[in-house]
Amino acid sequence: MKTRPEILLKGAIVALAVLAMAAARVEAQGSPGPTILLSPDSMWKQKHNLRVCADPENLPFSNRNREGFDNKIADLIAHELGDSVSYAWWPSRRGYVRNTLSAGTCDIVIGIPVGFDPVATSKPYYRSTYYIVTRTDKHLDIKTLDDPRLKTLRIGVNLLGEDYTNTPPAHALSAHGIVGRNVVGFSGFYDEEHRPGEIIDSLAKGSIDVALVWGPLAGYFAKRSGVPMTMTPLPDQDSPDLPFAYGVAIGTRRADRELLALIDNILEQKKPEIDKILMEYNVPTIGAAH
């Protein structure tokens, strides 16, 4: 299976998992790349202003009102650096990094897979996975994609378009022979028509029976749905090609080694505060963040 490393949907974490396999290859190779001195145009050091790449309409991660947990983590990092925070807003689309971090309009991008090749990545600050989400009152108790009921239940899953860029659950459903009319696709590209929470909204309304959702989205919107939801982690063995779980990190330009080192230190020193932010947004985490 081929991946396109230039496809980055910052903030829309449902789509970032597409890059997990490529990231895993980089991580396994253990090649951090050459050490490069801080780039001379780094605004954060010259102006004491940390410029953040972010999607303006993508809760729970970020929005223009700075209400997402990525926004809160950016505030924490900037505070520790002694910097103010400004934003380069760009919607989660193909070419995100090219038009933001690589273009020099910002200094960090929050919420990318560990080892994502186009940027230098920090240590992960949390690890999550995809979840099987159902209405608690339906008592479905589905724990794996091998459950035969999934052949007939209406299943919601985020889709991105071409097959090789689809999310891990979409690939896994196909591998399990779960295709056709009972699979309902929800866009992973968000705009005025399609919002991040629509897959959970459809589950709450009964339009679908099961939703396969990236953890932070599932936890945040399930809590706000007004309907009790049951969340079960998708087992790794259900996805032979793309992992469901991975660590999430902060990215910088490769030249900004000094900034990356400072961020790594802040993430370690401020882990309790970061964990508290994630809990406030009901972000489910698993295992060690590595």
Backbone φ and ψ for 210, nearest 5 degrees, come out as -140, 140
Domain hosting residue 45, numbered range = 13-127+246-280
User: Do 107 and 22 share a domain, yes or no?
Assistant: yes
Domain with 196 in it: what CATH number? 3.40.190.10
Number of H helices, E strands in the chain: 10, 13
Angle between helices 69-81 and 271-280 (to 10 degrees): 160
Same domain? For 157 and 226 the reply is yes
Please indicate, yes or no, if residue 252 is contained in any of the structural domains: yes
Q: What is the pLDDT of residues 46-101, one digit of tens each?
A: 778 999 999 998 899 999 999 999 999 999 999 999 999 999 998 877 788 888 89
Assess whether 252 and 171 both reside in one domain.
Answer: no
| 180 or 160: which leads in pLDDT | 180
Q: Does residue 260 lie within any of the structural domains? A: yes
| Residue 20: predicted pLDDT | 42
Same domain, 55 and 86: yes
Residues 244-268: tens digit of each pLDDT: 998 999 999 998 999 999 999 999 9
Comparing 40 with 43, the larger pLDDT belongs to 43
> pTM for this one?
0.84
DSSP string, 139-205: -----STT-GGGGTS-EEEEE-SSGGGS-HHHHHHHHTT--STTEEEEESS-SSS--TTHHHHHHHH
- Answer whether residue 29 shows pLDDT above 60: no
| pLDDT tops 60 at residue 136 | yes
Residue 94: predicted pLDDT? 72
At residue 23 the predicted structure's pLDDT band, cuts being 50, 70 and 90, is very low
pLDDT beyond 50 at 10 = no
Flag whether 289 is in a domain: no
Tell me the average pLDDT across 277-288: 92
CA distance linking residue 62 with residue 54, whole number of Å: 7
Task: Report the mean per-residue pLDDT for the chain.
Answer: 82
pLDDT confidence band for 275 (50 / 70 / 90): very high
Q: Please, are residues 102 and 251 in contact by the beta-carbon 8 Å criterion?
A: no
Q: What is the pLDDT of residue 186?
A: 86
pLDDT at residue number 228: 97
Q: Verify that 157 and 254 share a domain, yes or no.
A: no
* Same-domain pairing of 17 and 122: yes
Give the pLDDT score at 115.
84
Residues 78 and 34 in one domain: yes
Whether 162 and 221 map to the same domain: the answer is yes
Tell me which H or E stretch contains 221.
helix 215-223
Give per-residue pLDDT as tens, 110-132: 988 898 888 999 999 999 999 99
Structure confidence at residue 191 (pLDDT): 59
pLDDT of residue 188: 66
Q: Which residue has the higher pLDDT, 284 or 12?
A: 284
140 and 111 housed in the same domain: no
Q: Residue 9: pLDDT above 70?
A: no
Listed ranges 4-18, 134-148, 174-188, 227-241; the one with the highest mean pLDDT: 134-148
